[in-house]
Structure 1
Amino acid sequence: MRSRLALGSLVLLLATAGCSGASTTDDEPIPRITQPTDQASEPTPSEPPATPGADDDGIGGNDDDGRVRRPRALDVLADRLEVPWGVDFLPDGAAVVTERISGRVLRVTAEGDLDPVGSIESTVPQGEAGLLGVAVSPGFDSDRTVFFYVTTETDNRVLSARLDGSRLGPTRVVLDGIPAGFIHDGGRIAFGPDGFLYVTTGETGDPELAQDPDSLAGKILRITRDGRPAPGNPDAGSPVWSLGHRNVQGLAWDEEGRLWASEFGASEWDELNLVEKGANYGWPRVEGAGGGPDFVDPQLVWPVEQASPSGLAYVAGHLWMAGLRGQRLWRIRVSADGEASRPTAFFTEDYGRLRTVATAPDGLLWLTTSNRDGRGQPALADDRLIRVRP
């Protein structure tokens, strides 16, 4: 297995668990954004400083004069939401957005129109659990189907439902029996370029489950739309695609079809991983790099207070990773051969805890805050859905 990260001069910082932290102390509502603060911070010490002019590839890179091109928050599409968690886009450009605590499903347009379309009645919110990820079927124009990841009284499960116009229909169980807990429930779901549904699960606070091939906890799963193990999985009878994960909450594919995942660390290192079929990412045997030949090392690591990463998106040569405890949006360059480098932070502490970042059909980013999740200090306008030019 590969080891692609040299820790170099990375300084070990004492930190609490990666899923904890505080946020902004704003106590005033924030109107639609016109000129937000968007100062870039220095790259994390795990990478050398970016060289001016090195990223001259347009969107998300550098301006013509060599200066770092900073993302700009364009407007607030929706505010006063109750912990928005999942975001995925319909063919018409509107997004389906989930609220973790309320169990509501919302339709939000690029013009800022918000309509509740239904709720997932089986949602049992607690700790980090509740209504989490959402994925719109690639064949939505014909099948009108949306998929959800939800915590119930007994487990985490994947559900599907038809979205006809402005109404969400009855749910159907796609995959159940995923262990659930007060913490570390995973919850990100997304369709890959291969047409199969990828599902991230956490180890629910029981680390050994991540190494148990018979458990669905602490894994990335790959399934068909009806919940069966997808053809080509490492074990034909299992939905498991990769294992040894603590709590993955971000998935994104680059232009070459490579799968990337952002993952919470425990007390030392948060991770960005390049996910390979059947690979073991080490938890709880190792956190960060240095696990030896049996495990795949992360491409990049961060001290947990700089990240606690959740959502992950890809646009034109760069990954964008939202940080909860880190309260910032990370931009990471991806080379043609699949190497991640030059992490640069933006919006540090501007909006508090950042949960999800998603790429809209027009190439803009939609970013959600997570200040009402019990670990932040929300402003009156929180939580917000912010549109960003990368």
Structure 2
Amino acid sequence: MFFSDIIVASIGFVLVIFFVAEDVKVLKKHSYYNNTIQEIVLYEVNLGDIELEAFKDLSVYLLQISENPLERLRNGVFVNVSTHEMLLFGNDIKTIEPGTFQDLRPLEKGGIRMLSLSFNKLGVIQNGIFTNTKFRQLFLVANDIKYIESGSFDGMVNLVELNLEDNLLESVEVGIFQNLATPASWVDLSLAGNVIEFVDVYAFENTTLHDLDLRDNQLGVHLLCHNYFKRTSASNETGSWEFSCQHGELECYGNKVHSCAVGLYPVSQSTNFIICSMNSSDASLDANNEACATSTNISWTVIQECLSSDQGDEFLAANGRRTDKLIPNVVNSIPTVVLNDVFSAELRRISIAYFQDTLVFILEQVQCGFCQFSGSNLVSGSGKFVVGVTLLLALYQKLFALI
């Protein structure tokens, strides 16, 4: 089935590289039993199944199985395997049994460099597939993942990057990423390009996230001057406010900068300032915020005076109190839309899907005294949007009577 070349590596032991000469279809038990191999590449070899213990006791630097009609990975395929990198992308994998990767051991200190399962057909991530594994990077890009069981990534103490881009996730619930934490480093998590509408307010509690990418989802627009990864705790028992944030003092400082902007400037200016700040390399860095202040006609001197006075503390504490009034009965996921301090689940649902359309429509109705709307003020709305706001018009009239 195989041709092989034997080479001697600089570290002194014999390495064997296999080149596939024909279709494999089924990889038999003990195909690579007790071997030390530099690379195994099974690329476009029509591999449809791998028998248990096919790679038993194998030591291999790179193991690649790609572009095959392989649909499942069973627990027992990679028994006692030592490796540095696994590339399993571009197959038809729909099912991975829990425990499949549990016996993998790193060839080098710090964990197994990478596992790529991108461009397969995974729909569900079960608890036990990746739990307690030793991967540093885990790529699950462009599958069909709709659901991830709670605790699926717990115990991955070597993890520095988890990429779930371009899947079909609709929400981020508590327990999926809640304990995504490594003792010696930060974790980059990408959920970009899904269809996420809701993120639980405590979804990222106890994590050590360095970067969270939620671009190109369906979250609408939201500004956070209060910590939604773990609520900021505040106390003024000593006569001055003391704030504690999950990610430390810099996070509290950035929250206070944004709170000062919201408290001192009109909505249009403060919104643009916060968007600029959050899009910068570091929202707690003065140089970045000063540049954003200049670009949005906000006085950085005024913001600094707010930060160094009791006013900044009061702004941040007020945001916390306002949020706490809504938790947990209202704010059980983010983003949450609250209009005129009144919460409507239906309004939240419509706003997240059609935020700008909903806001423009409501403002137009307020300006004209809730007149009968015409096609002109619904020109940008979809059919579902029109139906939704029509049903809610009476509620909004009562709502804005409170203004």
Q: One fold, TM greater than 0.5?
A: no
Larger strand fraction of residues: 1
Q: Point out the structure with max Rg over C-alpha.
A: 2
TM-score, length basis structure 2 = 0.19
The one of the two structures with greater contact order (alpha-carbon pairs below 8 A, sep at least 6) is 1
Give the TM-score of the pair, scaled to structure 1: 0.20
Q: Which one has a larger percent helix, Structure 1 or Structure 2?
A: 2
